[in-house]
A = this chain, B = another copy of it.
Amino acid sequence: MITLMRRFLPILALLLPTAAAAAPSPSPSEIVAHAPNTAWADVPPDRLLVMTLADGAQVAIELAPQFAPIHTGNIVHLARAHWWNGGAIVRVQDNYVVQWAPRDEKAKPPAGFVAHPPAEYDRARQDIAIRPLGFSDPYAPSAGFSSGWPVAVDGDRVWLPHCYGMVGVGRDMPPDTGDGQELYAVNSEAPRQLDRNLAIVGRVLTGMEHLGALPRGTAALGFYASKAQNVAIRSISLAADLPSAKQPHLQVMRTDSPTFTDYLNARANRTDPFFVRPAHGVALCNVPVPVRLKP
């Protein structure tokens, strides 16, 4: 895909699909567009949240129970209890996070909810297969991808990094780790200093452009200065609880596939025609794992 061209050029590019497809060095977007079906894995509907904002905009969030089982368990219980319906986005701090809260944080949570989850900030590496990034990570001894997720690794511990669109659990001061009622999504430059200090529970798969464009809050820490500024949440549902026609049927690229290796290499070494000098390197959070609608 041609980037940063002037506004008139994309039309030209669209008129020349054959030439683009025949280029000797495909761009990352071209690799994704031509990925075989075997390179994709379905996102299970019981791990997928669908947030609908007041204006109808939808945001699909994949949960990561393999990294934060207690917190994501809480989130599933809350979604099934319609906990966030009528809640709101209460904070948008520029270059940091978008944060939302339920309608009534003091209400009695549903059965099965764990009021004080353990600090699921990282997990044992155990037998997790990791496809290495292949480049240095300023925040961890090594980094890579596992079962479709970016991961950082230090010895026998592994964790989900705070990349753009990753979703975590807001918390008070330690040792309270947050219970999952207030969640945040990273809206910009990866605040990796938060890694292993908060529980990452998932990531936005589609609709991040809606959260990213929300007005920034003007109170301290980017909270909205008045309730009137809050962005109302119509509902957050578990996809599995929606009629199939209303579920987003999404797929994430398998990070153990040869196609992902091609994509990663292309992200690190842009040799498609727009580029004059490939970087020969790439940051963990600058390799967003591709997502598509299931064909």
Interface residues of A (CB under 8 A from B): 1-7, 9-10, 13-14, 90-92, 94-97, 99, 101, 105, 119, 121, 135-140, 163-165, 168, 170-174, 178, 182, 184, 187-198, 208-209, 212-216, 219-221, 223, 267-268, 270, 273-279, 281-283, 285-286, 288
Contact = CB atoms under 8 A, between A and B. Distances in A.
A122 to B, nearest CB: 9
B189 A277 contact: no
A125 to B, nearest CB: 17
B139 A163 contact: no
A9 B283 contact: no
A220 B164 contact: no
7 smallest CB-CB distances across A and B, nearest first, come from A94-B209, A136-B136, A209-B216, A138-B281, A164-B189, A135-B138, A10-B220
Given A2-B221, A9-B172, A213-B216, 11 more contacts: A4-B99, A4-B194, A4-B198, A13-B220, A95-B165, A136-B137, A188-B189, A189-B286, A190-B286, A197-B270, A209-B216
Q: Is the interface of A mostly helix, strand, loop or mixed?
A: loop
Contacts of A197: 270, 274-277
Nearest to A95: B164
A197 B105 CA distance: 49
Nearest to A178: B6
Residue from the set A4, A209, A220 with the largest chain B CB neighbour count within 10 Å: A4
Contacts of A139: 279, 281-283
B188 A188 contact: yes
A198 to B, nearest CB: 6
Contact of A193 (B2, B192, B213, B267): B267
Residue among A170, A195, A285 facing the most chain B CB atoms (10 A cut-off): A170
A9 B91 CA distance: 13
Which of A174, A216, A281 has the most chain B CB atoms inside 10 A of its CB? A281
Contacts of A14: 220
A277 B172 contact: no
30 contacts: A2-B173, A3-B96, A4-B99, A5-B170, A6-B101, A6-B172, A6-B178, A7-B90, A7-B91, A7-B223, A10-B220, A13-B220, A14-B220, A94-B212, A94-B213, A95-B164, A95-B208, A136-B136, A136-B138, A139-B279, A164-B188, A174-B274, A174-B276, A188-B188, A191-B286, A192-B283, A193-B270, A193-B275, A197-B274, A197-B276
